[in-house]
Amino acid sequence: MQAAIRDRYGSLDVVRLEDVDRPVPADGEVLVRVHAASINRADLDGFGPRPGFARLFMGVRAPREHRIGLDAAGVVEAVGSGVTRFRVGDQVFADLFSFRSGAFAEYVCASERAFETIPEGMTFEEAATLPHSAILAVQALRLRNGRTINPGDRVLIDGASGNVGPFAVQIAKTLGAEVTGVCSPAKVDFVRSLGVDHVIDYTQVDYTKTGERYDWIVDTDSHHSILRVRRALRPDGVYVTLGGTSLPIFGALIIGPLVSLASKKWTGLLLWWKPFNSDDVNTLKALIAAGKLVARIDRRFPLDEVVEALRYVDDGHALGKVVISVPG
């Protein structure tokens, strides 16, 4: 089979498509023929890696895992002994973050725990956009203690046009929030099409300096210090960040929780993230069935153009998700 491989850190040029042995499912594993995969910011962060201290977990000199890609959707091709949840022919999707990645390939093989059935009526491409980004959106709008937004709350999504942002906007609106989306000027119309109440062009306005206050801020890629974003929160407001460069992440990881002890404001990193949590997958399925959550796909690339697809996202062009279509 063909699979996207990289064996060192660096630019996107380190990625190559190789012929590798098709895996055979072991006990408890499922082999899936991939029909579609999607690109996440997390895929791109792994090339630096970003933040730099991620090398401690990914491999100091070179990445321990050579295959790439988190989100996959396809059809069960074979099952190992002991598999009880799926049969050959089932349509499934997965976030492979906890299962050695490898979505950018013709086949993936992982524990049956990695997979869930695709929501009824969804295409493989639509399903492939959900596992990583949509789950992050759900969990970023809920604290570890279960607290979430209330109807009428003012919610700001910084990075409303990317991977996670469009899902976060739609989910916040279903919860009755007044939503502000932050994006670049070229993406204002797209963000408006998501149903936001207000749009901020970050090249013209710094939301931390406007004097506006929000009940909940989701930052998909931190560029502001914790102390600055706290000024944009109401007295009991929440700021949750999903990623960024080393300094903002350090602030969100260490400084945010410490200063949160001194007030009712909570600021910090999404440390309670549970990849592809089954309860949250069910939440997504319910929203999709009700027509309240729609996958927004910008472009589709074939598997042999995976580098071009990654570069398109990395250059900041994407409006929503970019999908890798794998030929049958």
Cis geometry, peptide bond prior to residue 49 (ω within 30 degrees of 0)? yes
The pLDDT value recorded for residue 107 is 98
The residue ranking higher by pLDDT, 42 or 79, is: 79
The pLDDT value recorded for residue 235 is 96
CB 101 within 8 A of CB 65: yes
The span from the CA of 128 to the CA of 323, in Å, is: 8
The pLDDT value recorded for residue 57 is 66
Pair 141, 54 in one domain: no
Residue 21 per-residue DSSP state: P
pLDDT tens digits, one per residue of 10-52:
888 899 999 999 999 999 999 999 999 999 998 988 887 666 6
* Residue 64, pLDDT above cutoff 90: no
Domain boundary among the residues 251, 269, 287 is at 269
Structural domain contains residue 289: no
* Residue 68, pLDDT above cutoff 70: yes
Structural domain contains residue 240: yes
* Mean pLDDT computed over 80-92: 97
Pair 196, 242 in one domain: yes
Question: Confidence class of residue 9 from pLDDT cuts 50, 70 and 90?
Answer: confident
Structural domain contains residue 278: no
Amino acid sitting at position 180: T
Pair 42, 155 in one domain: no
Structural domain contains residue 221: yes
| Domain region containing 105 | 2-129+296-325
The residue ranking higher by pLDDT, 226 or 61, is: 226
Cis geometry, peptide bond prior to residue 166 (ω within 30 degrees of 0)? no
Q: Is 122 left (phi over 0), alpha (psi -120 to 50) or beta?
A: beta
The pLDDT value recorded for residue 246 is 65
Amino acid sitting at position 280: D
Task: Provide, rounded to the nearest whole percent, the portion of the chain with pLDDT above 90.
Answer: 80
Structural domain contains residue 276: no
The span from the CA of 296 to the CA of 190, in Å, is: 10
The pLDDT value recorded for residue 50 is 66
The pLDDT value recorded for residue 190 is 98
Structural domain contains residue 308: yes
How many domains, in total, are found in the chain?
2
**Which CATH number belongs to the domain containing residue 12 in this structure?**
3.90.180.10
Q: Give the closest residue to 200 by CA, choosing from 227, 166, 235, 161.
A: 161
**Which CATH number belongs to the domain containing residue 141 in this structure?**
3.40.50.720
Structural domain contains residue 290: no
pLDDT tens digits, one per residue of 211-264:
999 999 999 988 888 889 999 999 999 999 998 776 777 777 788 887 888 788
Whole-number mean pLDDT of the chain?
Answer: 93
Structural domain contains residue 284: no
Residues 6+ apart with CB under 8 A from 80: 25, 26, 27, 28, 29, 30
pLDDT tens digits, one per residue of 100-151:
899 999 999 999 999 999 988 899 999 999 999 999 999 999 999 999 999 9
Pair 235, 203 in one domain: yes
Pair 146, 27 in one domain: no
Domain boundary among the residues 252, 269, 286 is at 269
* Residue 62, pLDDT above cutoff 80: no
